[in-house]
């Protein structure tokens, strides 16, 4: 008997045509990309040159240095806001309050920082007004130069920091700087006054935070004692005491009292 020869099925023409079309399309796209790249490479790049004329070179260098210092100050603006204003005390107190209540994520950090910034603007408003009146407006009117404006702007800020700084902290930084004891507080250099002010603000903020912790700690202890007497040792006391702490805080109008006390503490 004759056996039928093996017949291999041919690939469909439709698949071959589709593959051919895809290959042609890829080649066209690659050609367009290469042409665009070569054209882009041939296009001349813009040149930026910064030069100084020989005439008036010293004046141009001074302007460049002033711009550089201005950009440096602007980049350090957040740190300056924290170091020279009431922001440190307010932000730390709100953070300690959140921990004392047991709501580690509520209010969110954005709310805490935003409220601290607004309260800082209110507390520092008299200082900013004096800076604007004594330094900024005369500088705009060209009545004083930049050096005089900086000196006049620093005076009200120094007065604010001096009023909130303890003499003990000033004496500590003076001894660390190994400088002679100033005749009065006004003669203390700004480089010594700023860290002294920050240390005083940290101490004051922790004192206020301790006073906030005590009532919430008492609530936690009472709830823990009740749960222990009832034999519910597996139930976390913090989770049970949280509703009571929130209720007492709201009934006592805690936000009103804390914000008012913080603002008055700078008076």
Residue 104 lies in a domain: yes
Rounded mean pLDDT, 222-249: 81
Angstrom CA distances, 248 to 56, 245, 264, stand at: 71, 5, 23
241 or 218, higher pLDDT = 218
Residue 252 lies in a domain: no
- CB contact at 8 A, 160 and 154: no
Residue 17 lies in a domain: no
pTM for the predicted model, two decimal places: 0.67
Residue 224 lies in a domain: no
How high is the pLDDT of residue 17? 58
Among the ranges given (67-71, 105-109, 146-150, 256-260), the one the predictor scored with the smallest mean pLDDT? 67-71
What is the percent of the chain with per-residue pLDDT over 70, rounded to a whole number?
76
Separation of alpha carbons 138 and 193, rounded Å: 26
Angstrom CA distances, 259 to 78, 120, 217, 256, 262, stand at: 22, 11, 21, 5, 5
Residue 71 lies in a domain: no
Per-residue pLDDT tens digits for 135-176: 888 878 788 787 888 888 888 888 888 888 888 888 888 888
How high is the pLDDT of residue 24? 52
Pair of tokens at residue 150: 């900086």
Q: Which residues contact 162 (CB under 8 A, 6 or more apart)?
A: 185, 186, 188, 193
- Number of compact structural domains in the chain: 1
Rounded mean pLDDT, 111-120: 88
Q: C-alpha angle 37/42/47, rounded to 5°?
A: 115
Residue 158 lies in a domain: yes
Per-residue pLDDT tens digits for 52-103: 454 445 555 566 777 777 777 777 777 777 788 888 899 899 988 888 888 8
Which residue segment(s) compose the domain that 89 sits in? 79-212
How high is the pLDDT of residue 2? 46
Rounded mean pLDDT, 174-195: 82
Residue 197 lies in a domain: yes
- CB contact at 8 A, 204 and 92: no
Separation of alpha carbons 132 and 139, rounded Å: 10
Residue 40 lies in a domain: no
């Amino acid at each position: 008997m004759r056996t039928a020869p093996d017949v291999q099925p041919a690939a469909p023409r439709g698949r071959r045509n589709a593959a051919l079309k895809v290959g042609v399309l890829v080649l066209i796209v690659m050609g367009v990309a290469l042409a665009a790249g070569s054209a882009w490479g041939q296009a001349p790049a813009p040149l930026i040159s910064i030069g100084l004329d020989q005439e008036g070179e010293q004046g141009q260098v001074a302007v460049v240095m002033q711009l550089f210092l201005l950009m440096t100050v602007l980049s350090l603006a957040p740190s300056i806001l924290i170091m020279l204003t009431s922001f440190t005390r307010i932000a730390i107190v709100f953070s300690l309050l959140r921990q004392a209540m047991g709501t580690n994520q509520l209010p969110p950090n954005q709310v805490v920082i935003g409220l601290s910034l607004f309260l800082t603007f209110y507390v520092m408003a008299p200082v900013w007004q004096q800076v604007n009146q004594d330094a900024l407006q005369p500088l705009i009117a060209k009545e004083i130069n930049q050096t005089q404006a900086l000196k006049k702007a620093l005076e009200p800020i120094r007065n604010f920091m001096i009023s909130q700084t303890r003499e003990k902290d000033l004496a500590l930084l003076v001894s660390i700087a190994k400088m002679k004891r100033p005749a009065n507080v006004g003669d203390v250099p700004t480089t010594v006054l700023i860290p002294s002010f920050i240390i005083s603000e940290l101490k004051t903020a922790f004192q206020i935070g301790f006073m906030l912790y005590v009532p919430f700690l008492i609530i936690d202890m009472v709830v823990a004692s009740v749960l222990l007497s009832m034999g519910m040792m597996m139930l976390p006391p913090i989770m049970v005491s949280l509703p009571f702490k929130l209720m007492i805080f709201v009934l006592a109008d805690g936000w009103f009292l804390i914000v008012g006390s913080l603002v008055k503490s700078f008076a």
